[in-house]
Each structure stands twice: as C-alpha cells, then as structure tokens.
Chain A
Amino acid sequence: MTDMEFGITLTVLGGGLTLVSLAFLVFVMKVLVGFQSKAEGKNESQSS
C-alpha cells in the first residue's frame, strides 16, 4: 500500500466511520432524553 493509498483509506474509513458512530451516538442520546421526557410525563400525571 503506497503512502497516499494509506492516507486516502484512513481518511475515507476513519472520517466516515467517525461521523457514522457519532450519528449513532446522537440517536442513542435522543432515546435517552426521550425516556427522560416519558418518565417525567408519567410522574406528572401520577402527582396530579
């Protein structure tokens, strides 16, 4: 593998996978915050 092939592979795979992983993490965070909203809604309805 030449130096440039190495660099391009690392850029495409490394950069691409970083963004995909972070996008997945965004999804996980949204689920986490979504659970929080649901739990808060449940608590509010129980207290009222």
Chain B
Amino acid sequence: MFDSNLSSLFINIFQGILGFGWQNMVMIIIGALLIYLAIVKGYEPLLLLPIGFGAVLINLPLNGLMGDEGILRALYNAGVATELFPCLLFVGIGAMTDFGPLLANPRILLLGGAGQFGIFFTLLLALALGFPQLEAVCVGIIGACDGPTSIYVTSKFAPEMLGPISVAAYSYMALVPIIQPPVMRLMTTKKERQILMPYTNMKPVSQTTKILFPIVVTVVTILIAPMGAPLMGMLMLGNLLKESGVVSQLVKSAENEIPNVITLLLGITIGATMVGEVFLQWKTLAIYGLGLVAIVGDTAFGILFAKFMNLFMKQKINPLIGAAGISAFPMAARVVQKVGSEENRQNYLLMHAMGVNTGGQIGSVMAASIMLAVIAAIR
C-alpha cells in the first residue's frame, strides 16, 4: 500500500522529466538556436526571440499552454486562426512606408510584381517534390519575402506548417544582405551594374497625391482581388494615417505600440506551434531549401524583368534595382545601393530601389490576393 502510494507520488512529481523525449530536446536546442541568432547575430530579433522562447516553452512536457484552455491556445485562436495579427502588422508597415519614390516613377511598380515570381517557381518545385497543393502554395509564399503575408496565407491553408514557414520567411529576410549580392552579380554584367540613374527626371510628389494614393490603391486593388481586402486595406490604412498629417498619435501607435505588441504575441504564438512531432519532419528541411530557392528566384526574376524593361526605355534603368522587387523592406533597397556603389561610386540607387521595394510590398500583397482568388476559383 505504502509502496504503491510512493511510486504514484514519484510519478506525479517527476512526470515532466519522464515525459521528456528526444524530440523535446531537439526542439529546445532549435529554440535556443533561434534565441542565439536573435541576440548574438541580430537576425530579426523582434520576431525570432519570442519564436525561439515559444519553441522552448511548448516543448517542455505537460505545459498545457496549447491545451484547450491554455494561454497560448487562446492567443492562437484570437490572433492567428482569425488572421488578425498579420493584418494588424500591416497597419504598422503602411504607417512606416513612404510611397513617394514609387509615385515619382510609377512604372517601377512592375518590378515589384516581377520580384514575386519566385513564389510561382517555388510552388511548382514544391509540387514536384510531393507537397500537397495547398501546402505547396504556403511554401511558395515564402517568396513574397513578406512575413505577415506568409503567416496570413499559411494560417488559411496549412496552419500546422506555420512554425517552419514563419521561421524560414523571417530568417531569409534577415539573410537578404547575404543571399542577394552573389545572385545580383551573376545576373548582370559589370557595365549594367554601372548604369547611372539620375534623379532629375523624378517629379516631386505633392501631399495631396500621397493622401489620395492609399485610397485609390485600396479601391482599385480590392475591386480586382477582394480576397486581399484585409491585407491591402490594413496596409493602406496605415499609410493614409501617416500621409494625412492630422493623426500623429495614431501614427505613433501604428508605427510603434501596435506592431511591437502584435510582434510579441505573434512570435510567442508561432513558437508555440513548433511542437517536435510536427516540426521534426523532412518537410521542414524541404521548406527551408525551397524558401532559399524562392528568394534567389525573386531576385533573379526582378533583375531579368528590369533588363526586359530596358529594351523599351530610352533612359535605361540599372537592372540591379530589380532585385529590390522583393518585399523585404528596406534591406533589399540597401543591398542594391551597396552593390551599385561598389561598381561606380557615383551610382546612387537608393531612392530608385526604395521605390521598387515599396512596389514589392504592394506586389506581394497583390500576388497573394490573386492567388487566393484563383485557388478559390479552381479548387
């Protein structure tokens, strides 16, 4: 009698340790690695730090955090399953974005579209590797190089893949300065990289135009692809707040408090989806490999499209700015400036690249919205 009570007491006290398996250990190491990358290497620390901690937390046995009444389950249901968190992040992105350089040279928006072609290329590769259709779409969307869009689409189609896809998307965004330059050099000649782009032919954009822009874009894009309304609507709301010049308190919140709180909640919740049994599969490795392909593809397609546009333009553009068509803002634009100025010190591509980069933000939301519409139509 005493012996059986003692053994049940022992099991009750140490049930956490008894339930600790190799998968828990590996996932805690992965979580710790993400925390290390965030703190020591500075890779997207705002997101990778809470994701890493969430991964450590959820892989401790019997924590109950993602159980029916768990606190992280409540956050997940409220913010990820409803797609609320990524949409609210877009308010912040809109409030931080200046579409002035894009409005000064509207045709570079097309480069923001070309910079999304890695999505489709990767989608085909993922299908060829045996991913089910909707999972392949979520893998491809890493090529949008836009964290909230990736989270939005994945939470719609394959929520169980949210952990690996979000981590891959944000890791590669942080690695843009390392991934892009070799591709940019490979896809262009030295002469092309040296093309100077003057600023004299860029028209100054009035405040009225900047205020009208988010309203007009919202109406036009949502009429074309209504399923993208949550993303585009929130992005342009944030931008309208900024450009209106009359709601400085709201702009301050949209730029700081809202994205900061949402990033924290989103990060820890995504980390909480990184359970060993789900994360430790061959698929996760494949997602990382395909994510890299997507970003390399985006860069290459953006540059190729810039070269294609040059066939029809009197004033040639430097094809390097095509690499900024991915949505990673403003890293991609800075990389273009750096590579361009290495070839020619007089080459100041930053504002042109910023225009393409903001075009990439519109392009990624547009591509995702149209994909949602096409999928709804063909499935």
Interface on A for B, CB 8 Å cutoff?
1, 3-4, 6-11, 13-15, 17-19, 21-26, 28-30, 32-33, 35-37, 39-40
**How far apart are the CA atoms of A23 and B206 in the complex, in Å?**
22
Least distance between A27 CB and chain B CB atoms (Å): 8
A29 and B103 contact, CB distance less than 8 A: yes
**Cross-interface CB contact of A13 among B137, B208, B374, cutoff 8 Å:** B374
Give Cα distance in the complex from A7 to B371, angstroms: 11
Q: Which residues of B are in contact with A by a Cβ distance under 8 Å?
A: 102-104, 106-107, 109-110, 112-114, 116-117, 120-121, 123-124, 127-128, 132-133, 136-137, 203, 205-206, 208-209, 212-213, 216-217, 220-221, 224-225, 359, 362-363, 366-367, 370-371, 374-375, 378-379
Determine whether the beta carbon of B113 is less than 8 Å from that of A19.
yes
Asked if A11 and B112 sit within 8 Å, CB to CB, the answer is no
Name 7 extra pairs, CB < 8 A, besides A3-B136, A6-B379, A7-B127: A3-B132, A7-B133, A8-B124, A15-B117, A17-B370, A18-B370, A22-B366
Q: Are A25 and B217 in contact (CB-based, < 8 A)?
A: yes
Question: A10-B137, A14-B370, A26-B106 are known contacts. Are A32 and B209 too (CB-CB below 8 A)?
Answer: yes
| Beta-carbon contact of A33 and B362 below 8 Å | no
Once A1-B378, A14-B371 are accepted as A-B contacts, the answer to whether A32 and B366 lie under 8 Å apart by CB is: no
B378 and A10 contact, CB distance less than 8 A: yes
Contact indicator A28/B117 (Cβ below 8 Å): no
What residues of chain A lie closer than 8 Å to B128, measured between beta carbons? 4
Contact of B212 among A14, A19, A26, A32 (CB under 8 A): A32
Assess A18 versus B366: contact at CB under 8 Å? Given A32-B213, A36-B205, A36-B209. yes
Question: How far is the CB of B168 from the nearest CB of chain A, in Å?
Answer: 20
List of A residues within 8 angstroms of B132 by Cβ: 3
A9 to B137, CA, bound (A): 12
Q: Are the CB atoms of A21 and B133 closer together than 8 Å?
A: no
Partner pick for A25 among B104, B121, B221, B378, CB 8 A cutoff: B221
CA distance A7 to B124 in the complex (A): 6
Contact A21 B221 (CB under 8 A): yes
B366 touches A6 (CB 8 A): no
List A contacts of B366 (CB < 8 A): 18, 21-22, 25
